[in-house]
Structure 1
Amino acid sequence: MNWPAISFDWNHVRAFLATAEEGSFSGAARALNSTQPTIGRQISALEEILGVTLFERSVRGLDITESGSDLLDHVKAMAEAATLISMVADGKSQSVTGDVFVTATDLASAAILPELLAPLRKTAPGVRVHLVCSSDLRNLAKREADIAIRHVRPDQPDLIARHIGDFRANLYAATSYLDRAGRPRTPLDLADHAFVGGTNPEHLVATYADMGIPVRPESFVMSTDSGVVAWELVKFGYGIAMQPEVLGEAAPGVEKVFPDFPSVQFPIWLVTHRELKTNRRIRLVFDLLARGLAEKVSAVSSGSSIQG
C-alpha cells in the first residue's frame, strides 16, 4: 500500500504501535503511561488523517486491519530507527554496558546471529552478548535469557512477543548426494532415498507423510539433536532434510530437491521480558535483532540474495 505524504503527530504513531503490540487500548495505555480514552482518540485521529481504518472494533476486542498491518511494518522500523538514532546522537549507545543473554536454536545461533549482531560492536561495544543455544520455551520464564528467538508464541502473560515474520523451509540435499543417489522427480521417489533427521524418527515419519513424502524410520541414516550438526550432515552428502531456505539457497554445493516443491512456513517470534521498556541494553539488542530478522524474512520472501 502506498501511503500519502502526510504530516502526523508522533504520539499518534506511538499509540498505534502500542495498541498493535498490546492488543488493546487499555494495554497500550498502561505501556505508555496514558489513559484508555486518550489512546482511543489518538488512534481515531491517525485513522482520520490517513483515511483508513487501522483496527476493527468487535465484541472480541480489536483486530488489526490489512491497512493497519501494512502500516505496522513501517511504524516498527521508524520506532527502532528513532531509538537507535537518539542513542547514537547523544552518545548513549556507546555508554550502554552490561550483559544481554539471547537464546535461540543452535542453528540460528551459528548461521544467522553472528551477522545480525555485528553492528552492535560499533554502536554499543560495551554490551556483551551471551548466546544460549536452546529450543526450550522456559528459558525466559526461568530468567535464563533476556531475549529469545522462537518458532511459537509463548503464552506467559509477563512476556512481550513480537511476530517478526515467517521463514520458509524446503527439502535440500548436497549436489554430491543427488549425483550419487539420483534426482527424484516426484515425492513418491523419495521412498528409496536417505534422510538426515532428529532423534525422534517416528515423529518425522508422520510429518513427512502429511506432506506426501513416504519415508520410514530406517530412511534416516543419520540422526542428531543438533540443528548445526544436521545441516553439516546434509552438506556433507549423507541425505535429504528439511532445512530453512535462508540457509539452503545460499549454501554452495547444496540444492533444493524439488525446485517447485511447496515451502513449509514457520513463524519467527522475538520474545523478551517487560524489562524491555526500562532496560536500554536489552532494548538496543532487541531492536537490532528485530530489524535484522525482518530484513532476512523480507529478502527470502522476495527471492533476493540472503547473504550478508
Structure 2
Amino acid sequence: MNKSNFNWALIPSFLAALQHGSLMGAARATGVSQPTLGRHIAELESQLKLLLFERTGRGLQATPHALDLAEAARAMHAGAADFSRLASGAGQSVQGSVRLSASQPVACHLLPPILARMRQALPHVSVELLVNNSVSNLLLREADIALRMVRPEQNSLVTRQIGQVRVRAFASTDYLQRRGTPQVPEDLVQHDLIAGDTNSEIEQGFEAMGLPASALHFGLRTDDLNVQWAAARAGLGICFMGEYPLEPDPNIAAVLPMIALPVLPVWLTVHRELRTSARIRAVYDFLGDEVTRALQGPHRQGLRG
C-alpha cells in the first residue's frame, strides 16, 4: 500500500459498514448512498489488499482482518474529529451558539436566572437548551456542554463537580391539611405518593428501611419531573424532588426530614477539545461559577418542614 496515496476518507464508510452489518444500514446512519458506500469498501480493500467483508444474502460479514483493523480505524476517526473541533475553535471570538443539555428541573428551576445573567455577560452568545432527563452524548455532538447529576465515564470528556442537590419529600400545604403531616416514614403508607413510572426507587428505599413496599399507594406515576412537581403543588400527594434555589413558595412544605434521601452531585461536562473554543470555554466557565454560587445559596423552596 502506498501510504502517501491512502484515502483516509474511506475510514468512516468502513466503520459504518462494520457497525451496521449492511450497506443499507450504513447508508441510513451516514446519509451516504449504498452504491457510494460499496465503492468505498471496495476501494479500501483494494488499497489494503485485504478482504474486509464477506458479502452474504443478509448483509456484510466482517472478516478477521476487518476486526483486527477496527480499533485503529476508530482511533483514526476520533483523531479526525478532534482535529476538526480544534480547527473550528481556533481564532474564534466569544460569539455564536452553544448547545447546552440539562434535565427538566435544572432547566426550569435552576438555569433561567443564570442564563439571564449570562445573556448580559456574554451578549453575543446564544444558547440552544436541550431539555432531557436522559444523558446526552457529547461525543456525538448532541450537546456542547451538559449539566447533569451523573458523572460521565468517557476519558475524552472534561467533567467538574460544581455542587450538589439534596433530595427531599414535598407536599402542598393544602394536601397536608386534608391528609395530615407524616411524622415518621411508616406514615407514608397512609398517603398518596407521586413517583416515576419506569423506576422503583421509592419502593426500594421503603424496603431498605425494613418496610413493605406493597403497602405504598401512588396517586400518580410519571417520569416527567415537572409534572411530578406540578402535581404535588396541586395537592395530589407527596413527591420526592431535589432542592433548587427558588423564591419561597408558601404552598409547599418539606416533610420527613429524618429520611436519608440521596444527595446528588452536579457535574458540568464538556468535550476536552471543545474547551479550545472561545465561546464554549466562556459559557463553561460562566456556568461553573454561577451554578456553584446558586447551589451554595439558601434553598428557599418554601421549606417549612
- Per the normalisation by structure 2, the TM-score is 0.63
The change in CA–CA distance for 1:226 and 1:100 in structure 2 (over 3 A counts) is same
How much is the aligned-residue C-alpha RMSD, in angstroms? Answer: 2.6
Which of the residues 134, 157, 177 maps onto 1:159? 157
Q: Matches of 1:306 and 1:294 in 2, distance apart?
A: 17
What's the CA shift for 1:236? 0.7
Per-residue CA distance 1:167-196 (angstroms, 9 max, x = gap): 111111001111111111211111121011
1:97 equivalenced with 2:95 (yes/no): yes
Higher Cα Rg, which structure: 2
Cα offset, 1:124, TM superposition: 1.7
1:204 and 2:202 are equivalent in the alignment:
yes
Residue matched to 2:235: 237
Aligned equivalent of 1:34: none
| Equivalent residue number for residue 123 of structure 1 | 121
Counterpart secondary structure, 1:136: coil
CA distance in 1: counterparts of 2:212 and 2:169, whole angstroms: 13
Contact 2:101 2:136 (C-alpha < 8 Å) held by counterparts:
no
Q: Report the equivalent of 2:186.
A: 188
For 1:270, which of 258, 268, 271 is the aligned residue? 268
Identity in percent = 35
Query: Residues 170 and 256 of structure 1 are in contact (CA less than 8 Å); yes or no, is this contact kept in structure 2?
Result: yes
2:104 to 106, 109, 116: 106
- Partner SS, residue 246 of structure 1: coil
1:245-284 to 2 correspondences below 5 Å: 245-246=243-244, 250-284=248-282
Between the aligned partners of 2:251 and 2:232, the Cα distance in structure 1 is: 10
- Matched letter for residue 230 of structure 2: E
Give the C-alpha shift of residue 213 in structure 1. Answer: 6.2
Q: Is 2:137 the counterpart of 1:139?
A: yes
Deviation per CA, 1:49-97, whole angstroms, max 9, x where unpaired?
Answer: xxxxxxxxxxxxxxxxxxxxxxxxxxxxxxxxxxxxxxxxxxx99x622
CA 1:255/1:223 → structure 2, altered by over 3 Å: closer, same or farther?
A: same
Task: Provide the C-alpha distance between the structure 2 equivalents of 1:179 and 1:234, rounded to a whole number of angstroms.
Answer: 14
1:263 Cα deviation from its structure 2 partner = 4.8
Partner Cα distance (1:306, 1:186) in 2: 22
Unaligned runs of 5+ in 1: 1-91
Q: Is the 8 A contact 1:168 1:266 kept in 2?
A: yes
Please list every run of at least 4 consecutive aligned residues from structure 1 whose deviation after the TM superposition is greater than 6 angstroms.
Answer: none
Q: Which has the higher contact order (CA 8 A, sep 6+)?
A: 2
Q: Which letter does structure 1 place at the counterpart of 2:221?
A: S
In the alignment, which residue of structure 2 is the partner of 1:222?
Answer: 220
